[in-house]
Amino acid sequence: MMTSSDGLTGPARLLRLASWAIAIVFAVFLNMFGSLVIRDMEFAPHGGPPVMEQFADAPAKARLDAARRDLQAQRDTLDEKAETLEVARGRAAKQYADEKESFRNWLATRSVTGDSTRDPDLLARTRKLDSLQAVTIDWQHQIDAIGDQQRALVAQQSQLDVQIASEDAAAEQRFDEATRHYELQVFGLRLALTLPILLIAIWLFIRYRKVRYWPFVYGFGLFALSAFFIELVPYLPNFGGYVRVLVGIALTVFAGLYMLKAFQRYAERKQLELQQDQGERARTIGYEKAVRSLEKKRCPSCDKQWNLGGDDSTFCVHCGLRLFNLCGCGGRNFFFFPHCHQCGAAQGSASLVPGVDAAPPGSSD
């Protein structure tokens, strides 16, 4: 019983596997190189990617920052002064409270003893309390004055903050516009690189996919697909996804139309082949294709089941192609086999099959 790979010899199978390995390795290295090129293209526009500092009004920003630092220094000075005054006012208020408490105790003692000779002391203590209260009030007035200055500085600082925010917003708007323009430039460069590579890969696949060096054609095609549909994705702008999808749709339509036309050409070619005689039809069928068709019990010409009339059929029941021969030894052989499976003699029909080098009839080892 033949396996699905019996149409190829061992070296041929190894060569095919090695060819695919070469195609994949070639695609991997091309993809590595392409990813580096695509990444480094962000520095292709002059000056590289824009930075925020390029779009700030440096003199105006420096002037506003200096003014804000000066206001902040004045606020810090007033804060320290207010803190010092608050300590002094607290001490004066405590002294006034202590003296007032002492005066209350003294008045209580005087009312008990009824000593009227001590009226001068009463006046003196009262004047001292008034003096201490005046000192406390004076400290409070100084604190209030500093508070007024602090509020004025806060108002000025708020105005400066508004101006600084306005300058930053204008710089950010200019930066955003430059960034969008830069992204469009870089995307255009990357698209100008990857899209032609994809188109070249498609052209190479259509024209040269069956040549001797097909692994490099397939490897380049794999690289082109990866570069356009995978490597380009992280660098797409907001609308870049539409470009990728539209190109994918166009390629799908192109591939579909190409396949339909190819199938139509294949069907027309098959019809012409079926109108040819036995010899001409046999010459158009390669040995490997014939062996694979035998394994599947399909006619190598019309690709239909030939054994519907029984496994001992000699001709295809659909197209009439001769499929089996009888050797002089009586062995029944597949028409495309170069030698008899019983006696090993060369079959004369093998000379009609492309890819088979058979010895002339009657020759022996």
SS (H, E, C) 237-280: CCCHHHHHHHHHHHHHHHHHHHHHHHHHHHHHHHHHHHCCCHHH
* Residue 143 near residue 82, CB atoms below 8 Å: yes
Torsion of CA 71, 76, 78, 84, to 10 degrees: 180
pTM, whole model, 2 decimals? 0.51
- Along the 365 residues of the chain, how does pLDDT read in single tens digits? 333 344 455 676 788 888 889 999 999 999 899 888 888 887 877 767 777 777 777 777 778 788 888 888 888 888 888 888 888 778 878 877 777 777 676 666 666 555 555 567 767 777 777 777 788 888 888 888 888 888 888 888 888 888 888 888 888 888 888 888 888 888 888 888 888 998 899 899 888 888 888 899 999 999 998 888 887 777 766 666 677 778 778 878 888 888 888 888 877 777 777 666 666 777 777 778 888 888 888 888 888 887 777 778 888 888 888 888 888 888 888 888 888 888 888 876 555 555 444 443 333 33
Residues 58 and 237: their CA atoms lie apart, in Å, by 30
| Model pLDDT for residues 234-265, shown as the tens digit of each residue | 776 666 667 777 877 887 888 888 888 888 88
| Helix (H), strand (E) at residue 281 | helix 278-283
